[in-house]
Structures are given as structure tokens and as C-alpha cells.
Amino acid sequence: MKLRYLFTGAFLLMWCTTTYAATTVTKKCVVASCDAGYYVSGSVSAGGSTYYTGCTRCPALNGVYGTTSAGMSKITDCAIPAGRNFSDSAGTWSFTQACKYSN
């Protein structure tokens, strides 16, 4: 079995194991942390531990994607930054503070 650490796309860090048995090769990757602007979107439990299995980009408001620090694990960690200008049929407006996502 090999253990590898990768930096790729939305994943800040993930590890992969590759198991070789006869003619079958099994590869399993688990996310250790998501990059900034993403949050953990799946997990599995095994051996008393929880492992992350994917990252999802924070939702957008009028084309502006929410932000997070790296390593966030919930959609409610996403926020639209303060000071961004938006406009709709009611006019132009902006947030004076970061606007966090809420379920």
C-alpha cells in the first residue's frame, strides 16, 4: 500500500492509498482539507475516524462566490465579503460586514 499527498484543484490536501492484489488495483482518496473558498461536502466513517471525501465551492450571490479560510468544513463557514457592490432591480447595494451563509 502506498500513501501519497497531493495538491490539486479545490483540494488543499488529500491522501490516497493504492492497494495491489493479484490483477486488481484499488485506489481510494480522502480529503484532509479543502482550499480557501471551498468547504467539505462529504465524509465517511471508518475505524472510529471520520474522513472527508470531497470539497464544494461556496455559493455565489450575483456572480460573487463566497469565501472561506482553508480547511473549513461546513457551508455555513462561507461568506460574501464586505464592501462588494451588487445591483438588482431595486438598485445598487453592498454589505458593510461579511454576510455568512445560513441554512
Cell of 41: 461536502
Residue 86 inside a domain? The answer is no
Residue 16 inside a domain? The answer is yes
pTM flag (> 0.75)? no
Residue 97 inside a domain? The answer is no
Tell me the average pLDDT of the chain. 76
**CA-CA distances (angstroms) from residue 87 to 23, 50, 94, 101?**
58, 42, 8, 19
How many domains does the chain fold into? 1
Choose between 23 and 90: higher pLDDT: 90
- Distance between CA atoms of 50 and 77, rounded to whole angstroms? 19
Residue 91 inside a domain? The answer is no
Q: Which residues contact 100 (CB under 8 A, 6 or more apart)?
A: 76, 77, 78, 79
pLDDT band at 32 (very low <50, low <70, confident <90, very high): low
Amino acid at 53: T
Residue 8 inside a domain? The answer is yes
pLDDT digits (tens, 9 = 90+) for 37-64: 888 887 777 667 666 777 888 999 888 8
Residue 84 inside a domain? The answer is no
Long-range interactions of 11-15: CB distance < 8 A, separation 24+: 11/35, 11/55, 12/36, 12/70, 12/71
